[in-house]
Amino acid sequence: MVKVLVVEDNKLIRKGLIVSMPWSDFDMSVVGECSDGQGALDFLQDNQVDLVLTDLEMPIMSGLEFIKIASSLYPNINFVILTIYTDFDYIRQALSLGAIDYIAKVQFDKENFHSILERISKRLYKVTSNDISNLDLNKKKILSSSIYTLLSMEDTKNGVDFTKEFIELNHLATKKIEVGAGIYILPSSEEKFVFPDYFPNCILLKIKGVMNLALGDLISKLYKYKKSQFFYDYTPSNPILIKDVTDLDIDSYISSEEDFHNLKERWLSFQWIHHTELFHKIKFDLKESKLTAAKLYHLMVALENAWNLYYGNLYGTLITIPDSFHSWFELENWLETLYQKTDFSLHTMQFSEEINDSIRMAKQIIDKEYMHQLLSGDIANRIHMSRSYFNQCFKQMIGESFGNYLRNLRIQKAKEFLEQTNKSIQWIASHTGYEDEKYFSRIFKKETGMNPSDYRKNYR
């Protein structure tokens, strides 16, 4: 039974997770709960814990600081991040500290709880099953010029182990060496293989140039390959790949945070929704960036949330990201489907492409500059439209007037600040476009039925 500790300063969220998530379905049990990182460290001193679900934004000790300290004191504990933020830059540090997953709180509803725990369970299994210390691998040398390995992105899919079926079809049960989750080394003398009719997310890899290489060194390279290049190499039409051993650990990822930020901005600007060539160009650049599967997934989560928040009403199309992407092939198909839906929606709209672009640009300005003084006339001038025609088009396309949209956006941002930070009411007012704190409080109460301080107390 996996022992779970939930660390979340918001009591409603913390209790909701503990009560509502189907822990027992995945052999998990919540053994404790804490409201901050320091309390969690105190709990870990006296209790055995296998998995910690922790918020990042907490009083007394932040989640990042907690993960850093706890992972050094208790290296066998795994961490999953809970946060309202979908910006990957914000959680990058936590992932770099060894967290195995990241969950946006916007995903928290009962329909998602099962899939969330299923994903965590699979990743937890991968981490714990990769222990190969019991094999004296470094003393074993490979005595052939090439060797076959079998790799699977996931150990099972819908309850079926496809690597096991391959091994049985080729009578390799007693010959293969399993060196980790989804990684098998096969006899090098085999040249012909029988494949199952359905063989998803698996690759038979022939590796050349391995003569006299220590088996342990090959396994290390295979781990690195599976973690990085395998995601991009897999295609259903090509189950066999041939690679030189020197190609297994090539690092070709984006290393600059600025480059990653620029790549993300190109997707979240949504300029590609009207331009086919631009869509294919940034899709190509995304693949060439060779981001890790984890970074790619969280970029797609940010894309999903931004689209549904800012463009769902505009185009009448909400998007849903799958629980995971096993390969670039799957992710690319999802992006293509998304673009086709968007393209269809655009062609059914009454406005020209030029007007669509202008309103999209206006919406981006509002979403980015809501904390400043914004007037519809000024926005109209910036996108080269008359004020009256801008107001007309904006209301028809967005579904509410410029004024209502701006006010609702500011109130929503104020709620987030009240829920997730300890900032003063005056600070929140000034950072949501209201110079006068009293005026902000009146507007907030009119929209929510509570003044800001009561809202904060009620939420927490």
pLDDT tens digits, residue range 383-433?
999 999 999 888 877 767 899 889 989 998 999 899 888 899 999 999 999
Rank 118-122, 194-198, 345-349 by mean pLDDT and report only the highest. Answer: 194-198
Each as own residue / partner, the long-range contacts of residues 323-326 (CB below 8 Å, 24 or more positions apart, any chain) are: 323/115, 323/118, 323/119, 324/119, 324/297, 325/293, 325/296, 325/297, 325/300, 326/153, 326/154, 326/200, 326/201, 326/231, 326/234
Locate tokens 């209201």: which residue?
434
Q: Are residues 296 and 235 in the same domain?
A: no
Q: Are residues 286 and 334 in the same domain?
A: yes
Distance of CA 336 to the CA centre of its chain: 19
| Res 407: pLDDT | 92
Exposed/middle/buried for 146, CB within 10 Å: 0-12, 13-18, 19+? middle
**Element spanning 225, H or E:** helix 215-227
| In-domain check, residue 56 | yes
CATH of the domain at 61: 3.40.50.2300
Cα Rg for the chain, rounded, in angstroms? 26
| In-domain check, residue 276 | yes
| Residue at which a domain ends, from 198, 221, 247 | 247
Instruction: Check residues 124 and 379 and name the one with the higher pLDDT.
Output: 379
**DSSP symbols for 17-49:** HHHHS-GGGGTEEEEEEESSHHHHHHHHHHS--
Locate tokens 């052999």: which residue?
27
CA–CA gap between residue 328 and residue 231 (Å, rounded): 6
Q: Are residues 91 and 161 in the same domain?
A: no
pLDDT at 155 over 50: no
CA–CA gap between residue 345 and residue 339 (Å, rounded): 10
Contacts for 122 with CB less than 8 Å, ≥ 6 apart: 154, 155
Q: Domain total for the chain? A: 3
| Residue at which a domain ends, from 129, 150, 183 | 129
Give, in degrees to the nearest 5, the angle at Cα 222 between 283 and 102.
Answer: 55
Locate tokens 């991009």: which residue?
232
| In-domain check, residue 44 | yes
Contacts for 351 with CB less than 8 Å, ≥ 6 apart: 359, 393, 396, 397
pTM of the model: 0.51
Domain that holds residue 340: 257-347
| Residue at which a domain ends, from 204, 219, 247 | 247
| In-domain check, residue 177 | yes
- Check the CA dihedral 354-357-359-365 and report its sign: negative
Tokens of 73: 């004191």
pLDDT at 29 over 60: yes
Q: Are residues 125 and 215 in the same domain?
A: no
Contact 225, 183 (CB under 8 A): no
CA–CA gap between residue 311 and residue 328 (Å, rounded): 25
| In-domain check, residue 397 | no
| Res 316: pLDDT | 64
> Which amino acid, one-letter code, is at 73?
L
Distance of CA 401 to the CA centre of its chain: 33
Q: Are residues 18 and 117 in the same domain?
A: yes
Contact 100, 127 (CB under 8 A): yes
Q: Are residues 23 and 75 in the same domain?
A: yes
Instruction: Check residues 437 and 12 and name the one with the higher pLDDT.
Output: 437
Tokens of 146: 């090439």
Count of CB atoms situated within 10 Å of the CB of 190: 15
Contacts for 187 with CB less than 8 Å, ≥ 6 apart: 148, 172, 175, 176
| In-domain check, residue 125 | yes
Q: Are residues 203 and 171 in the same domain?
A: yes
Rank 41-55, 237-251, 284-298, 344-358 by mean pLDDT and report only the highest. Answer: 41-55
DSSP secondary structure letter of residue 312: H
Q: Are residues 311 and 226 in the same domain?
A: no
pLDDT at 363 over 70: yes
Q: Are residues 7 and 117 in the same domain?
A: yes
Report the candidate in 252, 229, 400, 251 with the shortest Cα–Cα distance to residue 313: 400
Mean pLDDT, residues 68-82 taken together: 83
Count of CB atoms situated within 10 Å of the CB of 73: 11
| In-domain check, residue 329 | yes
Rank 153-157, 298-302, 327-331, 359-363 by mean pLDDT and report only the highest. Answer: 327-331
Give residue 449's region: left, alpha or beta (phi > 0; psi -120 to 50). left
Q: Are residues 119 and 168 in the same domain?
A: no
Q: Are residues 119 and 167 in the same domain?
A: no
Report the candidate in 235, 123, 231, 135 with the shortest Cα–Cα distance to residue 185: 135
pLDDT at 138 over 60: no
| In-domain check, residue 285 | yes
Report the candidate in 374, 376, 445, 373 with the shortest Cα–Cα distance to residue 414: 445
| Res 127: pLDDT | 47
Locate tokens 């009591």: which residue?
11
Q: Are residues 224 and 277 in the same domain?
A: no
CA–CA gap between residue 245 and residue 206 (Å, rounded): 9
pLDDT at 250 over 80: no
Which residues, listed in sequence order, are joined to residue 81 by a DSSP beta bridge?
54, 102
